[in-house]
């Protein structure tokens, strides 16, 4: 039985990695597909077909259509070649579990079809940690945004597959509720400095940080 009991209105760190630590995002196309899936599957309405998702892309609904009611609010995210992290706020009862089930299942189907494989793509059920305080929420956001640098893949501010660049520019892509985090800092520079502090701390004390964020 899952230790975390999801509550509407609360924030959660949700994450998972590829089975046997395998890469789940093989190139830019796979990263983009996952971003499209995040957007499309975040709805209380039935899941769109894979082909429908492919046609829609990340474009907004045509003709000023009314936005669909979301399962979760995405505060921040990062996608690395073999794993991903989210900070999510549950908006409806069961929202986190339903969103993650749809996202993981839909992307696994797509990945398997593209690569002529069967079976699980991710390492079991996604992991989740309740963020009970503002301190945890802010620290988690910085950890997520600094993840590419912590893993020595790319500088945090330069990494494409993270919400971090979108915190400072109106870029086309996945929309996040950045105000939850940014409202607690004087300006963007102060937040960027905080992210760098967390990157250095997480790189130096990985075991302690993992216990704080991943258990």
- Taking only the tens place, the pLDDT of each residue in 150-159 is 999 999 999 9
Close Cβ partners of 40 (under 8 Å, ≥ 6 residues apart):
47, 48, 52, 53, 56
pLDDT confidence band for 177 (50 / 70 / 90): very high
- Identify the residue whose tokens are 């020595």: 152
Q: Which stretches of 32-153 are assigned E, i.e. beta strand?
A: 72-80, 83-90, 127-131
Phi and psi based region of residue 32 (left: phi greater than 0; alpha: psi -120 to 50; beta: remaining): alpha
Query: What pTM value is reported for the model?
Result: 0.88
pLDDT confidence band for 166 (50 / 70 / 90): confident
What's the confidence (pLDDT) of residue 71? 97
Give the mean pLDDT of the chain. 87
Distance between CA 72 and CA 134 in Å, rounded? 18
Domains, in order of start, for the chain = 11-214 (3.30.70.1290)
Report the interhelical angle of 95-115 vs 28-41 (nearest 10°). Answer: 150
**38 or 204: whose pLDDT is higher?**
38
pLDDT confidence band for 175 (50 / 70 / 90): confident
Is 80 exceeded by the pLDDT of residue 170?
A: no
pLDDT confidence band for 215 (50 / 70 / 90): low
Distance between CA 165 and CA 14 in Å, rounded? 20
What's the confidence (pLDDT) of residue 184? 96
Q: How far is CA 101 from CA 112, 125, 141, 151, 178, in A?
A: 16, 9, 22, 26, 24
Distance between CA 71 and CA 95 in Å, rounded? 4
pLDDT confidence band for 204 (50 / 70 / 90): confident
Distance between CA 95 and CA 58 in Å, rounded? 21
Distance between CA 44 and CA 72 in Å, rounded? 10
- Taking only the tens place, the pLDDT of each residue in 117-156 is 999 999 989 999 999 999 999 999 999 999 999 999 999 9
What's the confidence (pLDDT) of residue 207? 61
């Amino acid at each position: 039985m899952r230790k975390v009991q999801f509550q509407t209105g609360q924030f959660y760190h949700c994450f998972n990695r590829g089975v046997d630590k395998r890469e789940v995002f093989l190139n830019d196309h796979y990263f983009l597909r996952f971003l499209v899936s995040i957007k499309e599957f975040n709805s209380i309405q039935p899941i769109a077909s894979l082909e429908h998702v492919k046609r829609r892309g990340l474009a907004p609904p045509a003709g000023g259509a009314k936005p669909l009611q979301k399962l979760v609010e995405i505060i921040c995210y990062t996608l690395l070649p073999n794993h991903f992290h989210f900070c999510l706020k549950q908006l409806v009862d069961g929202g986190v579990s339903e969103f993650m089930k749809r996202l993981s299942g839909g992307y696994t189907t797509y990945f398997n079809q593209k690569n002529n494989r069967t079976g699980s793509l991710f390492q079991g059920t996604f992991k989740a940690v309740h963020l009970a305080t503002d301190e945890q929420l802010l620290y988690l956001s910085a950890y997520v945004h600094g993840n590419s640098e912590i893993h020595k893949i790319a500088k945090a501010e330069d990494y494409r597959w993270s919400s971090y660049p979108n915190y400072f520019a109106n870029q086309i892509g996945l929309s996040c509720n950045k105000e939850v985090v940014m409202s607690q800092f004087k300006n963007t520079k102060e937040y960027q400095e905080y992210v760098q502090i967390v990157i250095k701390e997480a790189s130096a004390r990985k075991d302690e940080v993992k216990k704080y964020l991943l258990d």
